[in-house]
Amino acid sequence: MHLIYENLIKNLLDFFSGSFKDLSHEEKGYRIPKKAWDAIAEATTASGKTIPGAYGARPRGFADDRMGITADMLSFWTIYLGPVYLEKEFLNDEFYYHFVDLVKLINLCLLFHLSEAQLEEIRTGFIDWVKEYERLYYEYSEGRLSACPLTVHSLLHIAEYIALLGPVWVYWAFPMERFCGRLGRMIKSRRFPYANLDNQVFAQAQLKCIVNTYNVGDQITMGLQPKTWDTKIGDDASYQEYRVLAPRRPCDFSKIPLVKRAVAAALVTRYSDVTTGKNAFEMETALKILTSSEVETWGRLKRLNEGDTMLASKLTSGKTEDRRNASFVRYELYRDRNARTTKKDADYDYLTYYGELEYIFVVKIPGNLSFLPEGVQIPPTTLGLAAIRQCKITRQHPFGLDINYYKTMMPRLEVVDIAAVQCLVGRTLWRRGEWAIIDRSGDLARATPDFED
């Protein structure tokens, strides 16, 4: 994929800024005015604060200086930021459509598994894309022949190599680059650097052979101590993938009464009849349950098995200049289509939402609560709850990319079960005060709520 990121994308950026080789770019449809191009570079740099560190290196602007911009940064910009910033910026919209088609093809190439139909889509897609590229940038003019470097032609062979060698992640250059970076850090001797490097690589290879042969990875950690997450939420199976992390504090609902009512509302919903949607008890009873329970607030929520660490913004608000926001999350819930109609039974949809994680609660409900309505019983239970300020989604990307947009947040805080929280998301602010949500999980099949909800 370095063929695309280090060559094709850099060339396209030069076209957009009007600096590609010695060609004339005046009054060309792909040329973005300098003022707009500088604004894009500034927004790229600013997005580093609202895109979690788990997403990779902090994006860097490229209006003037390209030094230090890696293929990884160019990949992130192309897939997530470029489609947001370039919309409505070209004099001719054909160039934007052409760029989005490239993003869709890159997304296909990055899949872990590819079907024959998808491979054919990649093959024909790049053929069509290159033909369009020649029409839009080369313009079939001999004087613009330099617009057609070999790297553009090479796109036509991507599908062929995937068919021969497998998906691109199997053999792309990123792991090798990271390995080379590790090699540089291994050198400890200035007098005999190469001999020192040989010994370090040989010793690590020996240790890995011992680990794999005798299955002693828990005893030989290669300098990396395995992390243990022992702050379990409870015994419920749905919480086994989640851990809560410091800071930990007893909850004082007297300082946040509106949040207390939102948590109580979540308890009413949790113990309602799933089939009919009828509540087992009213809000006042739920408030009494909270008063009788031990409630803790936690600052971080960790999802195990390579999942994200998500921060509660009201408990971990840092003032450091270089802090990156890790409190916006994607969460998924069942919603009753007939919630506003009392005459119909409940009919649930599984929908995706985005919002800011403000609080993490662990509620330990004791057994034998005497004030519960007749026939209602709650055994001793530990609940994990997340208080989230939902983003009010206004639209999705107009050409099928998995990008959602919002301008404002919902006024009411929503409290959901921790098991509904899926992962971190990033955001970037662009013109007209509109935020674009960057979700690297990238599953277009996920259901999303209607915009007017």
**Confidence class for position 183, pLDDT limits 50, 70, 90:** confident
What are the domain boundaries of the chain?
2-170, 174-214, 237-438
Is it the case that residue 207 has pLDDT exceeding 80? yes
Please, what sign has the CA dihedral across residues 440, 444, 446, 447? positive
pLDDT of 330: 97
Q: State percent of the chain over pLDDT 90.
A: 67
Please, what sign has the CA dihedral across residues 292, 298, 301, 302? negative
Which carries the bigger pLDDT value, residue 278 or residue 226?
Answer: 278
Average pLDDT on 223-242 reads 78
* H or E element in which residue 244 lies: strand 242-250
The answer to whether 135 touches 128, Cβ cutoff 8 Å, is no
Distance between CA 85 and CA 77 in Å, rounded? 10
**Nearest residue to 263 (alpha-carbon basis) of 290, 238, 236, 240:** 290
**Confidence class for position 445, pLDDT limits 50, 70, 90:** very low
